[in-house]
């Protein structure tokens, strides 16, 4: 048995987990910061980093209690080293390096997005690789070819607003609150998806990149008028807002499903994986399931507990990187970018 302590602080969730052999989750604790950022309708990096500092030590202690173990039984420490907010990442990386040095444990730096791409395997009886993985989160919308846990190839990514970011911005336009994804998804359930004509940006023929900035702008102009950024919301009824949410939700999901099917067809792979916070979206799960069934693809959807930012996926991928000999040293740096 190999037991990994995972630490995740890439954005606005402080998370600590303890996982055995990459799939048995003994503890998975998350401290959210939604209330701290709600008034700003988005994450404030300085506030996020400070909140990580304030609660990370306590979460580590609570994780050991929840897992009924001590640091002596930990075999390695895995930590998100990139990508993310640099101040937030530095908190987690510094803590992980300190613990690795103090306890004499190996250190494993983990790519946060690759952890999302492989998170569906945590509860799976067998790894689903090779597969096409769609990662949809607040800061990233990406397609990967996953050959193995330590062989993840980026096929396409976001060139402007990610899907989760677009959900937050549309929720802000409609004054629905923050974070926007769950609220828009909920309001969409009672709206008409064909009520508002919104664009589906596919970019160049065969492109696996994503762009949701134009879709967000189209919603803003529908609400306020062409070229306007305010003044139209008071004219809308609750049912009008539900219709806008449903139409926007359908436009995002259409693009995500089409691009994923395009990637799977081009790669000649018959397994599809979805991870990231937006992977909890009900319409996305429904439409992706229908598309995969029509093509006789196997769909592996990440369990809801591991969709949003969490440390279980960091510890799980950390285990596989450790067994492949991909160990970091105490010079490990936090990096904001994917590279």
The domain in which residue 142 lies consists of 125-302
Same structural domain for residues 134 and 229? Answer: yes
- Residue 333 covered by a domain: no
Integer Cα distance of 216 and 198 in angstroms: 9
Integer Cα distance of 180 and 167 in angstroms: 5
Same structural domain for residues 172 and 71? Answer: no
- Residue 331 covered by a domain: no
- Residue 183 covered by a domain: yes
Same structural domain for residues 172 and 100? Answer: no
CB atoms within 10 A of CB 289: 16
User: Is residue 327 packed enough to be buried (19+ CB in 10 Å), middle (13-18) or exposed (0-12)?
Assistant: middle
Same structural domain for residues 290 and 167? Answer: yes
Same structural domain for residues 115 and 135? Answer: no
User: What residues does 16 pair with on adjacent strands?
Assistant: 7, 29
For position 310, which CATH number holds? 3.30.420.40
Same structural domain for residues 141 and 224? Answer: yes
Q: How many domains does the chain have?
A: 2
Q: Determine the pLDDT at residue 222.
A: 97
Asked whether the beta carbons of 279 and 301 are under 8 A apart, the reply is yes
Q: Determine the pLDDT at residue 339.
A: 63
- Residue 332 covered by a domain: no
Show pLDDT as tens, one digit a residue, over the chain (339 residues): 999 999 999 998 999 999 999 999 999 999 988 888 888 888 898 999 999 999 999 999 999 999 999 999 999 999 999 999 999 999 999 999 999 999 999 999 999 999 999 999 998 899 999 999 999 987 889 999 999 999 999 999 999 989 999 999 999 999 999 889 999 999 999 999 999 999 999 999 999 999 999 999 999 999 999 999 999 999 999 999 999 999 999 999 999 999 999 999 999 999 999 999 899 899 999 999 999 999 999 999 999 899 999 999 999 999 999 999 999 999 999 999 876
Same structural domain for residues 297 and 313? Answer: no
- Residue 328 covered by a domain: no
- Residue 339 covered by a domain: no
Same structural domain for residues 16 and 91? Answer: yes
HSE value, Cβ hemisphere, 13 Å, CA-based, for 122: 32
- Residue 280 covered by a domain: yes
**CB neighbour list of residue 234: distance below 8 Å, 6 or more residues apart:** none
Dihedral Cα 181, 187, 188, 190, nearest 10 deg: 160
The two beta strands, 13-20 and 3-8, are antiparallel
Same structural domain for residues 214 and 100? Answer: no
- Rounded to 5°, angle at Cα 11 from 6 and 17: 20
Q: What is the DSSP letter of 305?
A: G
Same structural domain for residues 106 and 153? Answer: no
Same structural domain for residues 9 and 155? Answer: no
pTM of the model: 0.94
Please compute Rg for the chain using Cα positions: 20
CB atoms within 10 A of CB 157: 17
Same structural domain for residues 108 and 164? Answer: no
- Residue 336 covered by a domain: no
Asked whether the beta carbons of 88 and 52 are under 8 A apart, the reply is yes
């Amino acid at each position: 048995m190999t037991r990994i302590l995972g630490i995740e602080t890439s954005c606005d969730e402080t998370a600590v987990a303890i996982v055995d052999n990459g799939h048995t989750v003994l503890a998975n604790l998350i401290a959210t910061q939604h209330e701290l950022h709600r008034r700003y309708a988005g994450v404030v990096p300085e506030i996020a980093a400070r909140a990580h500092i304030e609660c990370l030590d306590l979460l580590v202690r609570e994780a050991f209690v929840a897992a009924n173990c001590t640091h002596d039984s930990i075999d390695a420490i895995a930590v998100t080293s990139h990508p993310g907010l640099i101040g937030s990442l530095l908190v987690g990386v510094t803590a992980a390096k300190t613990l690795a040095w103090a306890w004499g444990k190996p250190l494993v730096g983990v790519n946060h997005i690759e952890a999302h791409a492989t998170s569906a395997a945590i509860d799976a009886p067998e790894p689903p690789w090779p597969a096409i993985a769609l990662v949809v989160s607040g800061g990233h919308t990406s397609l990967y070819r996953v050959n193995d846990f330590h062989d993840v190839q980026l096929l396409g990514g976001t060139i402007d607003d990610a899907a989760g970011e677009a959900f937050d911005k549309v929720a802000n336009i409609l004054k629905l609150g923050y974070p926007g994804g769950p609220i828009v998804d909920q309001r969409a359930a009672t709206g008409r998806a064909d009520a508002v004509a919104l664009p589906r940006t596919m970019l160049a023929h065969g492109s696996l990149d994503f762009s949701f900035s134009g879709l967000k702008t189209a919603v803003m102009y529908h609400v306020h008028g062409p070229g306007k950024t305010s003044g139209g919301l008071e004219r809308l009824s609750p049912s009008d807002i539900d219709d806008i949410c449903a139409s926007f939700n359908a436009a995002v999901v259409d693009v995500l499903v089409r691009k994923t099917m395009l990637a799977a067809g081009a790669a000649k792979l018959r397994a599809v994986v979805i991870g990231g916070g937006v992977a909890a979206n009900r319409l996305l799960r429904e439409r992706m399931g229908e598309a995969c069934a029509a093509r006789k693809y196997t769909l592996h959807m990440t369990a809801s507990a591991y969709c949003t930012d969490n440390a279980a996926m960091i510890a799980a991928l950390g285990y596989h990187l450790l067994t492949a000999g991909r160990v970091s040293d105490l010079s490990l740096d936090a990096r904001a970018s994917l590279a």
